[in-house]
Amino acid sequence: MLEMILFASIKVIVVVIAVLTGCAYSTLLERKVVGHMQHRMGPNTAGPYGLLTPLADGLKLIFKEEIRPANVEKITYLLAPVISFVPAVLTFAVIPFGKDNTFFGKDFTFVLSDLNVGVLFVFAVTSLGIYGIVLAGWSSGSKYSMMGAVRSSAQMISYEVGYGLSIVGVIIIANTLSLRELVELQMGPLWGTITFLPNWYIFSQPLGFILFLTCVIAETNRAPFDMPEAESELVAGYHTEYSSMKFSMFFIAEYANMIAVSSVGATLFLGGWHGPFLDSMPMLSVLYFVIKVFLFMFFYIWLRATFPRFRYDQLMALGWKVLFPLALFNTLITAFFVIL
């Protein structure tokens, strides 16, 4: 019993540290990649190649003076950043990030909790993050913050429908809600016969994958769907009145959500931790998983540097008039072929 608790504690600590480190260096990655795409250097003074920039930013935000408006609803104002951050980290509880292995004679599973309804857990937890944004906008006592919060809630409702339906096709094919089983079902060649393609669901659900990508970008309020922040219209939206570490918690939550949905996308559509040479070197599975998550993150940043922000009416029209019908069509077609 004590060994089980010890192993579980080690896994939780390692995953939380990895996620927080990933959030910190995602900010550096974004600044460097966007800088390269815009023909400028990006951060390069704090440490070699700017590698200590996230540490410098963190120290600056910790010691920065906090400015709190007089008319905020105090308790809600203080809780909102935490409510945004915690659900993003909880998502990693059910994501398998490596092949099971044996250490010191003990079986070690590379997943914190193998829930048989892992997909539903991800939906439930990621949906909670919106409460932090809405409460931040409402409690700030600013019309710009409130408008950002209302936009975010409407955006989440609109794109959550397409987000859910984009995954339903995968669930119909796999006939399971366990993320661990979903990864295991993607072993071998495509449809058991096409040997030059792996049995990843991106090949059997290409439309579902495109819809998933679009919806999660909107779900995480990232450009070109960053209407809740919209600096040109709302100053900074829901976090306008936040400063110091409370401001940084919203940013950490945003990047944690990006990493979380990238991990879910890699698990559902790109075979999770699958890759070559795993029989002889099982620990490569963790590296394969990290590489796939990195590709999703790079795509996020690439989009930000490429496309301008949508108008709000375009954003809502795309969600309800394009993505929702396509996701419904993809679900019906998948169900039809599975029945046949």
> Residues 179-196: what's their mean pLDDT?
80
The phi, psi pair for 272, rounded to 5°, reads 60, -120
Looking at residue 230, what is its pLDDT?
Answer: 66
Cβ-count burial 265-289 (b if 16+ within 10 Å, e if not): bbbbbbbbbbbeebeeebebbbebb
Q: Residue 105 and residue 123: Cα distance in Å, rounded?
A: 36
Q: What is the pLDDT of residues 32-85, one digit of tens each?
A: 999 988 888 888 888 888 889 999 988 888 888 888 888 888 889 889 988 888
Looking at residue 265, what is its pLDDT?
Answer: 93
Q: Residue 200 and residue 208: Cα distance in Å, rounded?
A: 12
Residue 237 has pLDDT above 80, yes or no: no
For residue 127, the SS3 value is: helix
Q: What is the pLDDT of residues 254-293, one digit of tens each?
A: 899 999 999 999 999 998 888 888 888 888 899 999 999 9
Q: What is the pLDDT of residues 290-330, one digit of tens each?
A: 999 999 999 999 998 888 888 888 888 998 999 999 999 99
Looking at residue 45, what is its pLDDT?
Answer: 86
CB-CB contact of 129 with 257 (8 Å): yes
Q: Residue 211 and residue 319: Cα distance in Å, rounded?
A: 10
Structure tokens at 12: 């939780």
Strands 106-108 and 101-103, sheet pairing? antiparallel
Q: Which residue has the higher pLDDT, 70 or 103?
A: 70
CB-CB contact of 55 with 46 (8 Å): yes
Looking at residue 278, what is its pLDDT?
Answer: 84
Looking at residue 154, what is its pLDDT?
Answer: 86
Contacts of 22 by beta carbon, 8 Å cutoff, 6+ apart: 255, 259
Q: Return mean pLDDT, the chain.
A: 87
| Nearest residue to 285 (alpha-carbon basis) of 293, 277, 294 | 277
Task: Decide: pTM greater than 0.75.
Answer: yes
**Where does the chain show beta strands of DSSP type E?**
101-103, 106-108, 189-190, 194-198
